[in-house]
Structure 1
Amino acid sequence: MKRRTLDLLFSIGGLGLAVLLLVVGVVLTTNANFANTYVHDQLAAQHISFKPAGTLTDEEKKSDCLREYAGQPLTTGKQAECYANEFIGLHLQSIGGGKTYADLGEPQTALKEQVAQAEQTNAANLADLQKQLADVTAQRETVFKGETLRGLLLTSYGFSEFGRKAGQGALAMYLGAALLLLLSVAGLVHAFRTPANAAFAAPERTKEPVTT
């Protein structure tokens, strides 16, 4: 095979791969931009803001991100992660002794049964049981709302991470396309500098002496 033909084949193939990587990079960039814009718009529509630095409690001040984002509107995935874990998560720990919505279901059910029995017997502790039930119910409703908001914010954070990974992938595709383009151009230049009748010579294999 002629050397120029081989150079042309490799160069054209490299250009094709460069175009393919470029197309993939554009697709990934589009996805990254969509994820970032969507997350920003959805979070901004909620009008959530971090507490100003001067109003942070001692426990809240222990969080680096709460101090960093103090007073800022919540509009990014990283901010959503911080607000969900460091702010909402912190306050959920102080409600109901750190129990979750599911955990509080058992004591709520038990108190409902006790209240029903107390109402039938007109027990003296009926008012106290009703108050306990009202407290547990309020705690469970608050925990449910907090866990729901926390889950939504973490979902936004996860979506933004997909966008960030897509952006990184797009950068890798662009760099790969640029490298292949340079190599292909170099191959084309070499091909046209090579005499048309020059043949590609494969390296000869050195024959090892036969020993008896």
Structure 2
Amino acid sequence: MKRRTFDKLVSFVGLGLAALLLIFAGLLNFGANFANDSVASQLENQNISFPAEDAMPSETKDQLAKWAGMKVVTGEMARDYSDLYIWEHMKGSAIAVMGKPATYSEVSGVYMGLVRGGSTDVEKIKQYGDLRQTLFMGNTLRGMLLEAYAFGTLGVIAGYAAIASLVGGVLFLLLGIAGLMHIRRTPEDATI
């Protein structure tokens, strides 16, 4: 095979890969911006804010202090609000009624047992009913916030992939151009 033919082949493949990577970079950047903008706008509409530092749960106050008084607008903030604020309140509510942390399904089972079992302890039924409602609402909000966190994380990953694709595309573009420039210096009769 002639060297010039091989150089042309390699150079055009490099330019094709450069074009492909640059297209990927654009699409990944679009995806990253879409994810980040969607998360921010959806969380903005929810109007969820962290409380002042002195109103935060003592168990997670150190981790949440950086967000004190701020509105939840990023995936990371949504995760912290869910796992470090709501979850602590849910555990505290369950401990107050049951003496231990409990899940919605555990509390619901006890509540349904009291109701269906014909319990006459109205105060206990009310406590478990209220706790059941609190845990249900907490789990629902936590699920929505953690979904925003997951979507936001995918946006961040897409952003990094866009940068990597852009760098790769530019590198292949430069190498392809260098290869085409090298063809002019290669003798006609050179072979591989």
The question of a shared fold, defined as TM-score above 0.5 by the shorter chain, is answered with yes
Equivalent position to 1:84, from 82, 85, 101: 82
Corresponding residue pairs, total: 187
- In structure 2, distance between residues paired with 1:21 and 1:113: 63
8 Å contact kept, 2:57–2:85: no
2:91 matched residue in structure 1: 93
Question: How far does residue 57 in structure 1 lie from its aligned partner after superposition?
Answer: 4.4
For the pair shown, the structure with the greater C-alpha radius of gyration is 1
Q: Does 1:173 align with 2:171?
A: no
Question: How far does residue 142 in structure 1 lie from its aligned partner after superposition?
Answer: 0.6
8 Å contact kept, 2:25–2:163: yes
* TM-score of the aligned structures, taking structure 1 as reference length: 0.83
Instruction: Calculate the aligned-residue CA RMSD, in Å.
Output: 1.4
Q: Does 1:45 align with 2:45?
A: yes
Q: Does 1:109 align with 2:112?
A: yes
Question: How far does residue 54 in structure 1 lie from its aligned partner after superposition?
Answer: 3.7
- In structure 1, distance between residues paired with 2:91 and 2:54: 22
Identity %: 39
Where 2:80 maps in the other structure, the secondary structure is: helix
Assess, with a 3 A threshold, how the Cα gap between structure 1 residues 57 and 144 changes in structure 2: closer, same or farther: closer
Deviates more, 1:33-42 or 1:178-187: 178-187
- In structure 2, distance between residues paired with 1:105 and 1:56: 27
Q: Structure 1: 5+ residue runs without aligned partners?
A: 119-125, 202-212
Equivalent position to 1:189, from 177, 181, 192: 181
- In structure 2, distance between residues paired with 1:52 and 1:187: 61
- In structure 2, distance between residues paired with 1:49 and 1:147: 18
Equivalent residue runs for 1:125-136 within 5 Å: 126=120, 129-136=121-128
- In structure 2, distance between residues paired with 1:22 and 1:47: 37
Question: How far does residue 11 in structure 1 lie from its aligned partner after superposition?
Answer: 0.6
Give deviations 1:27-86, integer Å, cap 9, x for gaps.
111111100000000000011111122433433423x2x111111110000000000000
8 Å contact kept, 2:56–2:85: no
- In structure 1, distance between residues paired with 2:124 and 2:80: 33
- In structure 2, distance between residues paired with 1:90 and 1:55: 12
2:191 matched residue in structure 1: 200
Assess, with a 3 A threshold, how the Cα gap between structure 1 residues 57 and 87 changes in structure 2: closer, same or farther: closer
Q: Structure 2: 5+ residue runs without aligned partners?
A: 96-100
